[in-house]
Amino acid sequence: MYLGIDLGTSEVKALIVDENGAIVASHSAPLTIQRPQPHWSEQAPQAWWEATDYLMATLREKCGQHWSAIKAIGLSGQMHGAVLLDDNDEVIRPAILWNDTRSAQECVELEDIAPELHQVAGNLAMPGFTAPKLLWVRRHEPDNFARIATVLLPKDYLRYQMTGKKISDMSDAAGTLWLDVARRDWSDALLDKCGLSRRHMPALVEGCEVSATLEPQLAARWGLNPSVLVAGGGGDNAVSAIGVGAVSPGDAFISLGTSGVLFVVTEAYRPAPQSAVHAFCHVLPNLWHQMSVMLSAASCLQWFCRLVGVTENALLEEIAQLSEEEKAAAPLFLPYLSGERTPHNDPDAGGMFWGLNHASQRALMGYAVLEGVSFGMADGLRVLQESGTRIEQCSLVGGGARSPFWAQLLADILNLPVVTHKGGETGGALGAARLACLAAGKPLAAVCEKPEIFRTWRPEAVRHQRLMTRYAQFNALYVNDLNYRKH
């Protein structure tokens, strides 16, 4: 059997597959985010490890005597987080997460001192990435910065606890702004600009390769063989791509989770930083990927449901009853509850409802939220297309994939076929288990089959045209708000 561990922002999930790739068992453990100040988002790495330890005990119970058949473990994780270790390999401070936006000023500084950044790292300096976080620590917590012996990414901290080895993979490392993404190696020049060097960095392997084996004492405690392999693993989106079988150039998917991602596999390194498109390494050798990323996607729906005291399912049912005329007259919603990445790179962008009146009941406002998030995805598709990337159809994964209404709305707005898959298990944990299979020597074609299509949602021309009128208003709203904030 093969085990995948996915360290997300809101939970750690673990999943086991058998020799044939069938899911044997899965379980998850919740995590909380600490926000001690505005713009801050932190977690204690110890909480990740405790959750992982709990999952191993729980899955061991579920699997009974079959537990010891686990041959390899794969890792997937939230990207960009800064885990700082001292000389004794103790955590210096809470991890600064991907959705922490405190380092906006440091991004300006990094762009200024590293003119080669865009070409080498393939991305704009954004507060989400790891490098600006370290510049922030250097400026605001100099004592902590002076103690840094190692910088690890979140899932690589789990690997260190499991194996005693400090190792990362190409896809996750590409999200630090310290990787030469074309060469798939650390950039000494970019590290130097942040007061760091190669000695602060983990070694690098490809995501589908063996990184290490379990530390013997831990293996004994978990009831596993110390020969269990740990795959390189990867950043959550690249590993999710393995889960949906996105392993060939042009394969694409939309993930509607806390954040919203439009991911497409490319055969070459194709940076397009001018429009805040991300260009990263894939978890497979000689492949890269582009991503558009919006910081708040399904989390906008969760926020609205909390605000008005309704469950997501109940609200989605109400929205599905709306007529075309009602939807055309609905308010507009800007989904920038955490600022925005693609295409605006604007940490100060805010969310808003526009056009409210006495008829604006919660179903109409809920519709506006779904539509606004979908318009944000359309912004991402537009800049990907402008960079020369062609997408024929998209898989839909994440929490949003459970809503037929949202799937059709995305197809109509993006003017692309959108497909959902059977089984639903297409995320990071499944992708991580598949990377474990690859590290153990199983062939790519057998492991990374595309999951069976459940349904295809095709765009409808009349609806697309009507929605494009509202999309133009959506874009004008952001421009007006930006102009207002500038003055």
Over the stretch 239-273, which tens digit does the pLDDT of each residue have? 999 998 999 999 999 998 888 999 999 999 988 88
Shared domain for 301 and 230, answered yes or no, is: no
Tokens linked to 368: 């506006």
Shared domain for 25 and 159, answered yes or no, is: yes
- d(C-alpha 397, C-alpha 298), whole Å: 11
Q: Are strands 95-96 and 42-43 parallel, antiparallel or unpaired?
A: antiparallel
Q: Is 318 exposed, middle or buried (0-12, 13-18, 19+ CB in 10 A)?
A: middle
The answer to whether the annotation marks 1 as part of a ligand binding site is no
Shared domain for 187 and 310, answered yes or no, is: no
251 is catalytic: no
- Per-residue pLDDT reduced to its tens digit, 172-183: 999 999 999 999
Q: Is residue 440 part of a domain?
A: no
- Per-residue pLDDT reduced to its tens digit, 8-25: 998 999 999 999 999 999
Q: Is residue 441 part of a domain?
A: no
Over 60: is that where the pLDDT of 424 sits?
no
Domain termination residue (choose one: 200, 218, 237): 237
Domain termination residue (choose one: 208, 237, 266): 237
Shared domain for 92 and 230, answered yes or no, is: yes
Shared domain for 73 and 214, answered yes or no, is: yes
Please state the domain count of the chain. 2
Shared domain for 261 and 154, answered yes or no, is: no
The answer to whether the annotation marks 80 as part of a ligand binding site is yes
Range of the domain at 184: 2-237
Q: Is residue 447 part of a domain?
A: no
Q: Is residue 438 part of a domain?
A: no
Shared domain for 299 and 371, answered yes or no, is: yes
Q: Is residue 443 part of a domain?
A: no
- Per-residue pLDDT reduced to its tens digit, 114-162: 999 999 999 999 999 999 999 999 999 999 999 999 999 999 999 999 9
Shared domain for 94 and 220, answered yes or no, is: yes
Question: What are the φ and ψ backbone dihedral angles of 433, each rounded to 5 degrees?
Answer: -65, -35
- d(C-alpha 308, C-alpha 454), whole Å: 32
Contact of 211 with 167, CB cutoff 8 Å: yes
- d(C-alpha 223, C-alpha 150), whole Å: 30
CATH number at residue 396: 3.30.420.40
Q: Which of 6, 100, 169, 236 is catalytic?
A: 236
Tokens linked to 293: 């990323």
- d(C-alpha 296, C-alpha 364), whole Å: 19
Shared domain for 358 and 417, answered yes or no, is: yes
Q: Sign of dihedral through CA atoms 401, 403, 409, 412?
A: positive
Q: Is residue 100 part of a domain?
A: yes
Q: Is residue 391 part of a domain?
A: yes
The 3-state DSSP class for residue 330 equals coil
Shared domain for 74 and 177, answered yes or no, is: yes
Q: What is the pTM of this model?
A: 0.89
Q: Is residue 433 part of a domain?
A: no
pLDDT (0 to 100) of residue 276: 84
Mean pLDDT of the chain: 95
- d(C-alpha 298, C-alpha 335), whole Å: 10
- Per-residue pLDDT reduced to its tens digit, 311-361: 999 999 999 999 999 999 999 999 999 889 899 988 889 999 999 999 999
Indicate the residue type of 143: D
Domain termination residue (choose one: 211, 237, 263): 237
Give every CB contact of residue 245 below 8 A, 6+ residues apart in sequence: 251, 448, 449, 450, 451
Shared domain for 135 and 220, answered yes or no, is: yes
Shared domain for 139 and 12, answered yes or no, is: yes
